[in-house]
Amino acid sequence: MASVILPSVPSESRPGRFGVYGGRYVPETLMAALVELEREYDLAKADAKFQAELAGLLKDFAAPGVRAFVKN
């Protein structure tokens, strides 16, 4: 599975999918929350403590574990 990394440039300064017309499949009522989420995501990407905690969680919970054969 490929990981997706959002660009770190704020959305207001980069062209959208439809150029000057925007480019998000999001209702206007959710735009403020989406902009806030992008801002917080950029902060989290730069936070070493957060990245260390995330790496630990991914190691423990996202890595393939021992598979058990279950007979039907």
Let me know if residue 19 belongs to a domain. no
4-34 per-position pLDDT tens digit: 454 444 455 555 666 666 667 788 898 899 8
Residue pointed to by tokens 């790496």: 55
**Residue-number span of the structural domain to which 44 is assigned:** 27-60
Let me know if residue 49 belongs to a domain. yes
Residue pointed to by tokens 């995330």: 54
- Of all residues in the chain, the percent with pLDDT exceeding 70 is 56
Let me know if residue 66 belongs to a domain. no
Q: For the chain, how many structural domains are there in total?
A: 1
Let me know if residue 35 belongs to a domain. yes
User: Who's near 68: CB < 8 A, 6+ residues apart?
Assistant: none
Let me know if residue 52 belongs to a domain. yes
pTM (2 d.p.): 0.51
Nearest to 23 by CA among 31, 38, 47, 56: 31
37-71 per-position pLDDT tens digit: 989 999 999 999 999 998 888 887 776 666 656 67
- The pLDDT score that the predictor gives to residue 56 is 86
The sign of the CA dihedral 25, 31, 33, 35 is positive
